[in-house]
Structure 1
């Protein structure tokens, strides 16, 4: 990998991981639309580690409170709002974990074509736009029911389909369940932590089995760039959606999907 490819892929992963535009779709399309070869499993793990680092640092105070009160709930049985949110994140992670283990091989082989990505971008983009347009809820994350958290987790499993966007589908589900935009994005970002961690763990196992020799300089640069770009993305995204909403991302998804259909049909 040359330096330009490292920068483009790391920043692209950092920005698109938390925007509702599908990071997996963009990473799949880069080697399709450029002369660059696939970046390899090791680099994928590195840039995902960078985005994980960014979201943990950004929500560090929330996570510390959630972890403390969750641990206390195991001993005392008293479930505070922060402990309940932690339990909810764990509950909502179960569906995507089961789906990922079951469908990982099938998706990697059969669902990575540009046309299928285009379908996912357009269909789930329009669903996000409709959910944002009709939203009536003003709830925060602490008003989510157990069923609501599980439903968002089930929706998150759809993100295994390239072009769906994990953040996009979870924000869509949260909006439909009555959360306000900022709360929907916050819950989506908290959900990303165990998902990125588990996905990275599975990829790490595959990397060890492949006996590949990593380029440590490329990996470290990828971690750094993806972490910085992801942190900035989370910060500005939260402020952006509070004022403007999701419609610009919907337009981007539809336009990109139409371009892909026009090019690859």
Structure 2
């Protein structure tokens, strides 16, 4: 992979990680449609890390409050601490992805080499967002979440390990189906990305730099991370504005269009 390809893929990753159109699908389908070599799984994971830096950059105050609340709840006995409870719910929602990701790691890795399957899963993402908006009640804010809500949203994140299933699309959709308000569902989704993607990036990338044979191997990776950070920060701001006024289902049409184009081109 050259620097230009890493730049383009990083920009696409950042833009599509939080806008619910499946970043992993684009990282698989874009090289396929342009005739590029598939990016490695390690590249995919590490550019995800760039988008997490964008979340931390934009939500650092809220993240700090979550950490403080967690310690007050766990070590200070403040069981009525709402931020502490939210921090625990975020950790709880991370568990399904950890369990499924470890137990089915090889299966998900194989999907990255199957553009046709990714295309069908992208169609499924569009359908999920469309139906969740039709059935949403939007009566809960983040302070009214339950542990059952958190686990169910976490299942959505676990399903999104498969390329083609949008992580933000699945988690926001599952939150909507549990009655969470759309804007709060988006914020929970952004915060939920931090523990799972950081953990995955550390797991997959632990030997990446140590085993690099030359600087040319790591420079595209750095370019990808930085470009993903910039486009990720922009896409978060865009999505937060969009979900206040428009339904999540507006992204369904894009997912369906890209999925169908990819399927037709494969045929």
So what's the TM-score if we normalise by structure 1? 0.93
1:13-35 deviation per Cα after TM superposition (whole angstroms, max 9, x unaligned) = 10111111111111011221123
**Structure 1 stretches of 4+ moved >6 Å:** none
Q: How far is 1:42 from its partner?
A: 5.1
1:21 aligns with 2:15: no
Q: How does 1:231-250 map to 2 (within 5 A)?
A: 231-250=233-252
Q: How far is 1:220 from its partner?
A: 2.7
Q: How far is 1:44 from its partner?
A: 3.1
**What is the aligned partner in structure 1 of residue 228 from structure 2?**
226
Q: How does 1:50-69 map to 2 (within 5 A)?
A: 50-69=50-69
Q: How does 1:77-116 map to 2 (within 5 A)?
A: 77-79=77-79, 80-110=81-111, 112-116=113-117
Q: How does 1:185-264 map to 2 (within 5 A)?
A: 185-205=186-206, 207=208, 212-215=213-216, 216-264=218-266
1:139 aligns with 2:143: no
Q: How far is 1:12 from its partner?
A: 0.3
SS at match of 1:67: helix
Q: Distance in 1 between matches of 2:116 and 2:110?
A: 14
**What is the aligned partner in structure 1 of residue 31 from structure 2?**
31
Q: How far is 1:146 from its partner?
A: 0.8
Between 1:227-236 and 1:198-207, the stretch displaced more is 198-207
Name the count of aligned residue pairs.
Answer: 265
Q: Distance in 2 between matches of 1:141 and 1:58?
A: 18
Q: CA RMSD in A?
A: 1.8
Between 1:102-111 and 1:52-61, the stretch displaced more is 102-111
1:87-116 deviation per Cα after TM superposition (whole angstroms, max 9, x unaligned) = 000001011001111111122125642221
Q: How far is 1:211 from its partner?
A: 5.2
So what's the TM-score if we normalise by structure 2? 0.92
Q: How far is 1:124 from its partner?
A: 2.6
Alpha carbons of structure 1 residues 144 and 212: separation in structure 2 relative to 1, 3 Å: farther
Q: How does 1:175-186 map to 2 (within 5 A)?
A: 175-186=176-187
Q: How far is 1:133 from its partner?
A: 2.5
Q: Distance in 2 between matches of 1:45 and 1:122?
A: 23
Q: How far is 1:49 from its partner?
A: 2.1
Question: Structure 1: 5+ residue runs without aligned partners?
Answer: none
SS at match of 1:28: helix
